[in-house]
Structure 1
């Protein structure tokens, strides 16, 4: 959403380049050449040629090479990736460091992947996993290291070759991830493409590509499905969200208020599974609003992500900042109340937006239905019943994640089970607390297929049944 990246012509050779800018300062970090169609064709031919030999390697050997690639990534880039990420997309340095640290801890993930690819015996039949072929990975800018790996590692571990196009917002970060893995893997197994949506569209529609994996907006996902459907490609698409949080009368209000603010504002609110709709039982609505406002005022500071003490950076672009501002302004014009707006850096340029707490959101407001992707805590009262909690939580085209807060765990579980979303936290934020074995799933407009966990890993390969003549039955 709202990337606003500049693509310009290189006067030296007439090719397109990404003007890679820091959203906090507007400084030009680099100019990154976009891959030409001829270069993309060559990448695809190389990937197709390399794929059969890679798929023939024993699964354990492939996984070990991926572990070696992760070790190389840590060795080469662990220290430089966090500040580079902050400069490219604005994430506070502490969050960037946390992302890199967690991204590099993939041993358990890779062991689960290896286990999921083992043959399964069913009497005289043996079900094996077969690679799909050539996979394109289109990665997002908001988690530019980890989201590449969540899609790329199972694609490669399953015997596919892959071409990765990082977001044009974070081209240098993505390039370091791919180059580290490529330095360890056989030639052609993983390759890098650079560019904007035009490059992505060319890859998606190319007949050599067998599968497309993407994390991004629902609108982009629908376009990908439309353009690639004629060639019957396979997909794993993790898309947008408008995630609900339900706070019941008997909730631990302090815990719920802290989580409401924290997970509305994490990564400057630029997370597909950010908390974006907070439904609070009417009987505790006013004190809950006070708790959220106080916690937000006391704990969140907006500024350049490289500065000490800053935990909310700039929006990724002025375009995205303007989208957030328009939603908040629309809500206020239609009766919402702004309970708090933080200071922002006075120096310009920089795509900063204040941390904002808005109460009394109603369905007629843009902020109720449209993905915000910004540092806004959006609160609204409801009657506190289970039936209404379920209805409101499902009152959206999206279905990525959600949360229910109540000290009556069976009641919270009943509500969570009926929320149309792939993962629902009970007194917690699902993304922070999920086990590595769980799949990451989007219902409705939030996804097409899914990744992670055994269920998700299986989307990167196809089952094949090897059927043998049954042994003769023994005579009595």
Structure 2
């Protein structure tokens, strides 16, 4: 999603979305000359970093995550200031990132270990698969999880023996840099570096012949641009892109839980989550009952200053984002959608607050049913209650990141889940919160390219190489 952040005279205009005021200190854009020096340093440092043992790299990264702990409160405050995330959610984001130093990091290590395939009997060759690093990996991180998303891409790349250059989103430049500086404090010089700027800087970075891979979490439109640039040199890619994630509610579902989750995961992070619930399909026979339950839950949310303890919804990250949400809602209402509820919200034309909004009677042709909304909107429509209709409606999108099915009949839930084309399906749960750490995270269709997380994802940052040998001299 384009945020409309302005770069003037080599400085990012970093604006607090809750006040409309510029954030100080200013963040300078990395100049082309500085960019070349950073790329050179990354290439110069890569061989010695790769020469370290896997255990040595893991331990250095573990210490880097530990180094984030003392600045945890500061980092959470900066996240709230830059993108408007409420304080409790910002602190959780930082805590989750630090927590990767334990079992998750051990899984990344396991994914990069040599694999012995046997052999070695007399006259038989032995085979071992090792992992070759790619070189220098660029990580382009998103604004909606400015600290939490970086390690999912940067750490597997580092563990594999690559050096990494992170470009934080220009919407949250200080958050990304603060996290990376702490993580880099335990690493050799040049192994993990940061550049700042907008899409122009990103294009200059990934266009360099001395960059060997790009990993990005962001919009599908940006992902396509990156793929086009990287195709010229066949650079490897991992792209975790947009979503328009459906939630199907059958009449036999636990309606209280389904209503709570429909609201909670439409509104989490002000709805600015790639796997947010953005389309709720309700069995038409329970429409009225379910909508009332949704209203009862939605009315408990409060839009306000993200630093206030009782605020549950902060501002959207930018004015452009607020305008996008407003246009989608207005267009839907004009085409016949019903506004069941809109909350109060601060009336500040300089800030980016938008009310919690509950819509009903949406039609599949409406833009709000097809384009990412990324805002605090619960968008509901109905289906005839059949599995076939549920599957058809869930799949009626160019995206396929995550999906959700609510039913007490787990056999039916499993049937439907297997036929929905998305990377994760949660049955009676929000899958990204409940999934095992080893689960991959990537989407179907225009929601992703490559593999992110899980064993397959951890191995995306290296090339498997087979070493085949025998101790027997040929006769």
TM-score exceeds 0.5? yes
Q: CA deviation at 1:74?
A: 1.1
Deviation at 1:348, TM superposition (A): 3.9
Gaps of 5+ in 1: 10-15
Supply the distance in 2 between the matched residues of 1:363 and 1:406 (Cα, whole angstroms): 23
Q: 1:116 aligns with which of 108, 111, 119?
A: 111
Q: Distance in 2 between matches of 1:472 and 1:281?
A: 71
Unaligned runs of 5+ in 2: 120-125
1:279 to 275, 278, 281: 281
Corresponding residue number in structure 1 for 2:253: 251
Deviation of the 1:471 alpha carbon: 5.9
- Structure-2 residue corresponding to 1:365: 366
| Structure-2 residue corresponding to 1:382 | 383
Give the aligned partner of residue 59 of structure 2.
64
The alignment partner of 2:457 has SS state of helix
Q: Secondary structure at the match of 2:368?
A: helix
Match of 2:205 among 192, 203, 206: 203
Give yes or no for contact 1:2–1:317 (8 Å, CA) kept in 2.
no
- The alpha-carbon deviation at position 429 of structure 1 amounts to 0.5
Q: SS at 2:73's partner residue?
A: coil
- Give per-residue Cα distances to partners, 1:429-473, cap 9 Å, x unaligned: 011111111111111100011211111101011100001138699
What corresponds to 2:27 in structure 1? 32
Shift of 1:228: 1.1
Aligned ranges 1:401-412 → 2 under 5 Å: 401-412=402-413
TM-score, normalization by structure 1: 0.96
The alpha carbon displacement at 1:2 in A equals: 3.6
- Residue by residue over 1:240-279, the C-alpha shift from the partner in whole angstroms, topping out at 9 and shown as x without a partner, is 0000000011000000000000000000000000000111
C-alpha contact (below 8 Å) 1:340/1:358 kept by paired residues: yes
Q: How far apart in 2 are the matches of 1:471 and 1:400?
A: 51
Q: SS of the residue aligned with 2:105?
A: helix
Q: Is 1:87 equivalent to 2:81 in the alignment?
A: yes
CA distance in structure 2 between the aligned counterparts of 1:2 and 1:350, rounded to whole angstroms:
18
RMSD: 1.2
- Tell me, yes or no, if structure 1 residue 355 matches structure 2 residue 356: yes
Q: 2:172 aligns with which of 170, 173, 184?
A: 170
Decide which moves more: 344-353 or 45-54: 344-353
Q: Is the 8 A contact 1:182 1:190 kept in 2?
A: yes
- In structure 2, the residue matched to 1:98 is 92
Once the two structures are TM-superposed, the CA of residue 184 in structure 1 deviates from its matched residue by: 1.0
Equivalent residue, structure 2, for 1:416: 417
Counterpart of 1:237 (choices 239, 260, 269) is 239
Please give the alpha-carbon distance, in whole angstroms, between the structure 1 residues aligned to 2:147 and 2:352. 22
Shift of 1:347: 3.7
Deviation at 1:382, TM superposition (A): 0.2
Q: CA deviation at 1:103?
A: 1.0
**1:186 partner SS:** coil
